[in-house]
Structure 1
Amino acid sequence: MFTSQGPTLRELAVQGMSSIERGYDLLAPKFDQTPFRTPDRMLDAVEETLARHEAPFDAGLDVCCGTGAGLGMLRRLCTGRVTGVDLSSGMLAEAGLAHPEADLLRADARHLPAALEDSYDLAVSFGAFGHFLPEERPAVFSGVHAALRPGGVFAFPIGAPIPPSRPAWWVVSGFDAAMRVRNAVWRPPFVMYYRTFPLGGVRTDLRAAGFTVETLPLDHFGRRPDGTPRWRLVLARKEG
């Protein structure tokens, strides 16, 4: 939930009518006081699962690191350098205050710099994939694949589909519809959708980028009535 130290309704409106980069530059100083920040519960679940099944790693990369919620996790999982990449200089400034030991780089995840190639053993990303249209996913995944060393892992959580019988389905569907209308009538666009990242399509795009793909249940969040996990950790591995 928003706290009293978080952004005002007016500030959120200004952000929402800006570009993605400008919007996050404006929101950055108060971002961690919003529900948009990845919850510690999710970070802890991913860290515990990676530590149990995959660690240790050498170098780590946080793609779309924002204010650095995932950088502390990478520091604990990785024995070498940790790098955060984000499009927003404002978000990177906040990440630098919280994690001065991390290397921070301003870059578009759809066009990761060639200097990052073959440099990392673990890449993670949290809460950013709604900012990429489905047709942009291959570029993001290919860039991460290039940044990993052979045998490296790209890890991120993904939630189970929300059934239409639940109120949350109507909330996220309504939000996505409102964003489509906003982007049809207002420039610059602000791409942020909640229902454009299904596991099936994501798995297909990861494999096309050269990854092998497996998932692990994040049982910290329980299971649905049919027994399937509410959240999974995707592990996309660069063959080596």
Structure 2
Amino acid sequence: MFSPHGPSLRELAIQALSSVERGYDLLAPKFDHTPFRTPDGVLDATADALRPLGPFGRGLDVCCGTGAGLRVIDSLCRERITGVDFSAGMLAQARRAHPAAACVRADARALPFAEAFDLAVSFGALGHFLPADRPALFAGVYRALRPGGLFAFPLGAPPPITSGWYWALLGFDLAMRVRNAVWRPPFVMYYRTCPLGAVRDDLTAAGFTVTTVPLTPLGRRADGAPRYRLVLARKPTAETGRP
């Protein structure tokens, strides 16, 4: 699963027993050599799906990590791009990879922006937010967007119960729940807490108009459903109250 340049088992164990912020500070120098980084195929498919909806002005990558998603918005936005994350270590890596981008340290549940961006994206971050945290996250993104702005992120389809991945993800989430029940500080990272229906409801409650499009280049499951969908949450325009 890991390249020779990735973290050792000891390093991963130390990370897992840390807080989310401290864990990612420790992992940051080797993060891009782990399977936790969003694959380039997902990034490219997202960029291709968003391109016909642009061009955009200013772009924001929410929970930008080491900056993989900054490459996406840099290809779509005509003005300056910004990445926000609460891990100083991850932001340091993002600055090195994208020196022209603004990198801001902040909690995504309290974004320090108001009507500043035309496009916001996020990759692989929803599992770090408990369902009770999503309203604050989505409300902050809503405030950060200009009227008519778009919030987009890919969401994978849940694997079928007959799949080995189903049981692997279930086992991971159960292990994390046990870990967080007996160890402090908690490390919030779950794979099964953000189903599309619940995410859509929370986005709608925040004020967005929500649609999805299949990311067809990423293939389909055996039942014909797309493996990934791109969630498109549009902030209504000020004049009409409509997207």
The normalised TM-score by structure 2 is: 0.96
**What does residue 176 of structure 2 align with?**
179
CA RMSD of aligned residues (A): 0.7
Instruction: Write the distance in 1 (CA, Å) between the matches of 2:184 and 2:39.
Output: 31
Residue type of the partner of 1:174?
Answer: G
Q: Deviation of residue 221 (structure 1)?
A: 1.5
**What does residue 130 of structure 1 align with?**
127
Residues 41 and 218, structure 2, Cα contact 8 Å, conserved in 1: no
Q: 1:78-123 CA distances to partner (integer Å, 9 max, x unpaired)?
A: 000100000100000000000000000000001111xx11000000
Instruction: Write the distance in 2 (CA, Å) between the matches of 1:84 and 1:142.
Output: 18
List aligned pairs for 1:52-71, cutoff 5 A: 52=52, 54-71=53-70
Residues 84 and 104, structure 2, Cα contact 8 Å, conserved in 1: yes
SS of the residue 1:144 aligns to: helix
Greater mean deviation of Cα atoms: 157-166 or 199-208? 157-166
Report sequence identity in percent. Answer: 67
List aligned pairs for 1:7-156, cutoff 5 A: 7-52=7-52, 54-113=53-112, 116-156=113-153
Instruction: Write the distance in 2 (CA, Å) between the matches of 1:17 and 1:189.
Output: 8
List aligned pairs for 1:160-199, cutoff 5 A: 160-199=157-196
Instruction: Write the distance in 1 (CA, Å) between the matches of 2:29 and 2:41.
Output: 22
SS of the residue 2:68 aligns to: coil
Residue type of the partner of 2:198?
Answer: G
Instruction: Write the distance in 2 (CA, Å) between the matches of 1:146 and 1:79.
Output: 21
SS of the residue 1:70 aligns to: helix
Residue ranges of structure 1 left out of the alignment (5+ in a row): none
Instruction: Write the distance in 2 (CA, Å) between the matches of 1:87 and 1:2.
Output: 25
Residues 147 and 236, structure 2, Cα contact 8 Å, conserved in 1: yes
Q: Deviation of residue 178 (structure 1)?
A: 0.2
Q: Deviation of residue 227 (structure 1)?
A: 2.7
Instruction: Write the distance in 1 (CA, Å) between the matches of 2:157 and 2:38.
Output: 17
Instruction: Write the distance in 1 (CA, Å) between the matches of 2:57 and 2:76.
Output: 8
Instruction: Write the distance in 2 (CA, Å) between the matches of 1:47 and 1:36.
Output: 19
**What does residue 205 of structure 2 align with?**
208
The normalised TM-score by structure 1 is: 0.97
Instruction: Write the distance in 2 (CA, Å) between the matches of 1:157 and 1:48.
Output: 12
**What does residue 233 of structure 1 align with?**
230
Residue type of the partner of 2:208?
Answer: F
**What does residue 240 of structure 2 align with?**
none
Runs of 4+ in 1 over 6 A off after TM superposition: none
Q: Deviation of residue 228 (structure 1)?
A: 2.2
Residue type of the partner of 1:18?
Answer: S
Instruction: Write the distance in 2 (CA, Å) between the matches of 1:74 and 1:238.
Output: 18
Residue ranges of structure 2 left out of the alignment (5+ in a row): 238-243
